[in-house]
Amino acid sequence: MSKRIRVLSSLIFCLFSSIIFSEINETQKALLKDLPPDQRDSIIEKINKTNEIQSSIDEAFEQQNTLIKRPELKSLDTLEQCEECIYGYNFFQYSPSTFSPSSSMPVSSSYVLGPGDKLEISYFGSYKEKSIGFISKEGVFILPLLGPVNLLGMTFSDAVKLIKEKIKSELVGADVAINLTDLRSISIYLLGQAYKPGNYTLSGLTTLTNALFVSGGVNKLGSLRNIEVRRGGKVIKEYDFYEFLLKGKADSDIRLQDGDVVFVPYIQSRVKVGNGFKAPNLYEIKEGETVRDLIELAGGFSSGVGLTEKLEYSSINKLTNQKVLSYLTQNSKELDQTVEDGDVINIAKNLSLLVSGSVELAGQVNKPGEYSILKGDTILDIIDRAGGYSDNSFPEGGVFLRKDVVKLQKVAFRRSADLLENYLVTLIAKGRNSETPLTESSLRPVTQLIARLKTEVPLGRQVVEIDYLKLKTDPMINFRVQAGDFLYIPKRPESIVVIGEVLNPSTQRYSQNLSIKDYLDLSGGLKAGADKDKIYMVLPNGQASLYSRSFFSKDSTLVLPGSIIVVERDIRSGVELAAVVAPILSTFATSAAALAVLSQN
């Protein structure tokens, strides 16, 4: 007897020291029967308490955090910094730290049982039995004292009803408690423009929305409104996350199954909603949606918008590739027109002050686009409305185009062509009595220049000062804008272009330590036919400055990145021709510089 008590004591010590005790087996029951009743009851109570504590500890350890903050969204302040992201992107703040399943989701009564689900069955009343087990691959679960029952394909509520009826009918005086302790896992693929594409092992309760949140959502290019669920090679569901996010509709959600593929396609169309709306943002749109639908997505008009105020609607004409600005009346049929990729809507404040026309800003401004002109608007007003220059901007190389200047340049080109033709008339008249006969080859450069002047379409570039600080401090240079004006702000260039009468016309890497002479040397130096007194530099803003040979000895010229150094040919036919040709070549060089900058857009 004492030996059996010592064995039992050792067993109890092991149980308490390891804190692991799940069920009392037959051997342990036999040992407990040899103990005095009071000791036996006390030990059983302690064992049960130990198991409860261990169960709580296990549960705490098992509920590990499987989500971490997405690196680019670690601070809430950064949520507003992604201006190119569509509305809804920032709702996915977490990404998975592991692809293991999460079992922390509540089980609904409509959950369909299947192989791998773990049930806990506890009898009470006339029978006291407890069993924990898994549903087999065949869908069978073993009930204590009763044997197998098939639960395959049954909802949890139906399974509970079936088991309770079976217990009451076959075990008189007994009742049962049923818990679903562990869920089977499913394996799905999240592909396309998902934030973290891959194979995920998830809980059997996982819906499409759950999977998106657990996996970190979509990346910056991923659609939120055309997400596909593919099962057995077929698309069984197209999911619009906006229905859930903006309208609170969960009926379009779908529970995923093992082997499902969730595919996130690219965003096809985005529309900008600006001031005057409750939720101004960049929204993804679906084919066929209208201005009215877009207003609904943005939450409607803000409280400060009056009923008489119009909508400023900016769209792109696909035939001409030009922006078209129109004004729509609230609550009218005009709002039923479909919106397309790149469209912009705003509330047109102070419509009575609007001047006919608009100004377009492109390149390195924070909000590039087309802006309506208000009475008295200056270039600084338009720049401010566009959010100012970006961090990568190079205002010194800005290109400003004006339609009126195009007309003036056309007149100037025509006048220059006439002057050259008059010079040719004089030259030919003198050539009849000259000892040196005129040939077609000697006249070809001039005739080609005349032909170009007659056919060239000028850009209309106007040299203006657009440095933000200077515009802010000097109202004399802050000029009024006109309809059709265009301003392009490039990124800071890293090169210098050398063209004309040099051995190797080329593009050189910019260095603040190099002078004009240095760049000419890097291009092989001057040709024999170069005019050493007609070397000039076209600055990034379009200004051209002439330099003489004596200037190079000082090497003190400020050369800005993006400048063009032009070396003219020595024209030996006379001073009169040189006087006509020099400004023409300068104009062409300025146009070339502007085209080079605009080609970056």
Region 334-343 average pLDDT: 91
Q: Has residue 2 got a pLDDT over 80?
A: no
Q: Sorting pLDDT into bands at 50, 70 and 90, what band is 486? A: very high
Q: Please give the Cα distance from 588 to 298 (Å, whole number).
A: 48
Residue 572: its pLDDT value, please? 55
Decide which of 306 and 468 is more confident.
468
Residue 580: its pLDDT value, please? 54
Decide which of 192 and 95 is more confident.
192
Judge whether 282 and 270 are in contact, CB under 8 Å.
Answer: yes
Q: Has residue 215 got a pLDDT over 50?
A: yes
Helices and strands (H, E) in the chain, number of each type: 14, 26
Domains 270-399 and 493-598 share a fold: yes
Q: Has residue 15 got a pLDDT over 50?
A: no
What is the 3 state secondary structure string of 402-429? Answer: CHHHHHHHHHHHHHHHHHHHHHHHHHHH
Tens digit of pLDDT for each residue in 277-315? 898 889 999 999 999 999 999 999 888 788 888 888 888
Tens digit of pLDDT for each residue in 390-441? 988 999 888 899 988 888 888 877 777 777 777 666 666 665 445 555 555 5
Q: Please give the Cα distance from 519 to 498 (Å, whole number).
A: 7
Strands 544-547 and 198-203: unpaired
Structure tokens at 494: 């890293």
Judge whether 487 and 379 are in contact, CB under 8 Å.
Answer: yes
Residue 555: its pLDDT value, please? 57
Residue spans of beta strands (DSSP E) within 396-529 = 399-401, 486-489, 495-500, 506-509
Question: What is the sign, positive or negative, of the torsion defined by CA atoms of 12, 14, 17, 20?
Answer: negative
User: What is the CATH code for 91-102+186-264?
Assistant: 3.10.560.10
Q: Sorting pLDDT into bands at 50, 70 and 90, what band is 442? A: low
Tokens 């961090």, residue located: 391
Region 479-495 average pLDDT: 90
User: What is the CATH code for 270-399?
Assistant: 3.10.560
Decide which of 79 and 486 is more confident.
486
Tens digit of pLDDT for each residue in 509-559? 998 888 888 889 898 988 887 888 778 888 887 777 776 555 445 556 678
Q: Has residue 75 got a pLDDT over 70?
A: no
Q: Has residue 56 got a pLDDT over 50?
A: no
Tens digit of pLDDT for each residue in 102-131? 555 567 777 888 888 889 999 988 888 888
Q: Please give the Cα distance from 380 to 480 (Å, whole number).
A: 9
Residue spans of beta strands (DSSP E) within 266-307 = 270-273, 281-284
pTM of this structure = 0.50
Residue 400: its pLDDT value, please? 92
% of the chain exceeding 70 in pLDDT: 71
% of the chain exceeding 90 in pLDDT: 20
Homologous superfamily of domain range 493-598: Outer membrane lipoprotein wza domain like (3.10.560.10)
Residue 408: its pLDDT value, please? 84
Q: Has residue 380 got a pLDDT over 90?
A: yes
Domain ranges for the chain: 2-61, 91-102+186-264, 118-182, 270-399, 403-457, 493-598
Residue 264: its pLDDT value, please? 96
Q: Sorting pLDDT into bands at 50, 70 and 90, what band is 325? A: confident
Residue 98: its pLDDT value, please? 47
Please tell me whether residue 225 adopts helix, strand or coil conformation.
Answer: coil
Q: Has residue 261 got a pLDDT over 90?
A: yes
Tens digit of pLDDT for each residue in 583-600? 565 565 555 555 555 555
What is the 8-class DSSP label of residue 72? G
Residue 18: its pLDDT value, please? 39
Return the minimum-mean-pLDDT range out of 8-22, 31-45, 204-218, 433-447: 8-22
Q: Has residue 9 got a pLDDT over 60?
A: no
Tens digit of pLDDT for each residue in 129-142? 888 989 888 889 98
Residue 82: its pLDDT value, please? 65
Domain 118-182 in CATH 3.30.43? The answer is no
Residue 175 Cα to chain centre, angstroms: 58
Q: Please give the Cα distance from 50 to 61 (Å, whole number).
A: 17
